[in-house]
Amino acid sequence: MNVGTFPEYRPRRLRGSAALRALVRENELNARQLILPLFVRGGKKVRKPIGSMPGCFQLSVDEFLKECADAKAAGVNAVLLFGIPDTKDEKASGAYAKNGIVQKAVRAVKKEIPDLLVVTDVCLCEYMSHGHCGLVHQHSGGATVKNDPTLKLLARAAASHAEAGADIVAPSDMMDGRVRAIRTELDARGFDQVPIMSYAVKFASAFYGPFREAAESAPKFGDRRSYQMDAANGNEAMREAALDVAEGADILMVKPALAYLDLIYRVKSEFGYPTAAYAVSAEYSMIKAATEKGWIDEKAIVLESHLAMRRAGADIIITYWAREIARWLRG
Ligand code: PBG
């Protein structure tokens, strides 16, 4: 940018009044772009607080429906579902069971609130006894997550969500080739109109800590570094996103959000696809904790940080504050 030609130019001329600032504002938050993540579990009238995420709960389906209605009333048009099954096993049966917890919740909400967009997280970790996102092969040298055999299960899970009525499926497992496997299965079963929002750029991140309490999905051994990305790598993130585009992803997600704004920017600039940012659990917990201590102004901090995600290029923001933001925006 050459600023030498107009040495007398003063940006503050555009900041004189609220109306002037509004006139030249480049980005804004909008409730229609927000997705609220919710955790569903079995039982009735269950509303189990998640200790590290004040204001978030594990909800039985009846309570989940109330939460959806409340979100809709606030102006939020989309929810993202995570399931906490009653039992877990070594092949994640609960992830693709016709009567699995997510499948039940999706059927219920599509019946009660048909115009609420329902996105389902497609992963196996919540349903695996060992907590990994794929099938695990135990051997003398330790344990390895088996990529290719996992694809079939992910595709089955995605198709069962679509069958229950999910509007969008969102694979978060980070196995290679899963977008293609899911697209193929959805198309074969007549769900060619169901889009895939791919967790394209998902880092192995400490920012998921509180979520693992929420979803009861912490790995029992090892970590997720063999399938999630290294925080040091930006170019690799672009290769991951390119693969998902080639395999048929419709929406690309970057996760976490605040520490990875550079990648939201690069993914949006490079591919021009609808781009989602996921403001993950620890991003939520940190602000909540500082708010509880009276150290920060929650509303101002949340609006500013989510606006930064928009400025970086996010079209869609998945956030545990979706409802509050929608209400704040209405004033
Ligand atoms: C499942 C999944 C995770 C999150 C979303 N889907 C956890 C993980 O990968 O360990 C994290 C969301 C959050 O922290 O809010 N694979």
Return the percentage of the chain with pLDDT > 70, whole number: 97
Which pLDDT score is estimated for 234? 97
Most ligand 1 atoms within 8 A of CB, residue of 154, 211, 213, 321 to mutate:
211
| pLDDT value of residue 7 | 63
Is 123's C-beta closer than 6 angstroms to any atom of ligand 1? yes
pTM beyond cutoff 0.85: yes
- Mean pLDDT, range 284-302, rounded to an integer: 98
Question: Which stretch of 6-10, 66-70, 181-185, 202-206 has the lowest confidence by average pLDDT?
Answer: 6-10
Bridge partners of 194?
none
Kindly state the average pLDDT of the residues 252-267: 98
CA dist 266 and 92 (Å) reads 35
211 CB near ligand 1 (under 6 Å): yes
Closest residue by CA, ligand 1 atom 8: 208
Kindly state if the Cβ of 39 falls inside 6 Å of ligand 1: no
pLDDT in the model for residue 5? 65
Q: Please report which confidence band the pLDDT of residue 217 belongs to, taking 50, 70 and 90 as the band edges.
A: confident
Active site residue 44: no
Has residue 252 got a pLDDT over 90? Answer: yes
> Quick check: CB of 120 below 6 Å from ligand 1?
no
Better pLDDT: 218 or 27: 27
Q: Return the beta strands (E) in the chain as ranges.
A: 34-41, 47-49, 57-60, 78-84, 117-122, 135-139, 142-146, 168-171, 197-202, 251-255, 275-279, 316-319
CA distance 64 to 80: 12
Decide: 214 in ligand 1 pocket, CB within 6 A: no
- Cα of 64 from ligand 1 centre, angstroms: 19
Q: How far is the CA of 37 from the centre of ligand 1 (A)?
A: 11
Q: Grade residue 278 by pLDDT with cuts at 50, 70 and 90.
A: very high
Give the pLDDT of residue 112: 98
**Residue 16: pLDDT band by 50, 70, 90 thresholds?**
confident
Question: Quick one: pLDDT at residue 4?
Answer: 64
The residues, ordered by sequence, that sit 6+ positions from 318 with a Cβ below 8 Å of its Cβ are 34, 35, 36, 37, 80, 253, 276, 277, 278, 279
Stretch among 28-42, 219-233, 237-251 having the lowest mean pLDDT: 219-233
Q: Give the pLDDT mean for 60-75.
A: 98
The helix/strand count (H/E) of the chain reads as 12, 12
Q: Quick one: average pLDDT of 68-85?
A: 97
111 part of the active site: no
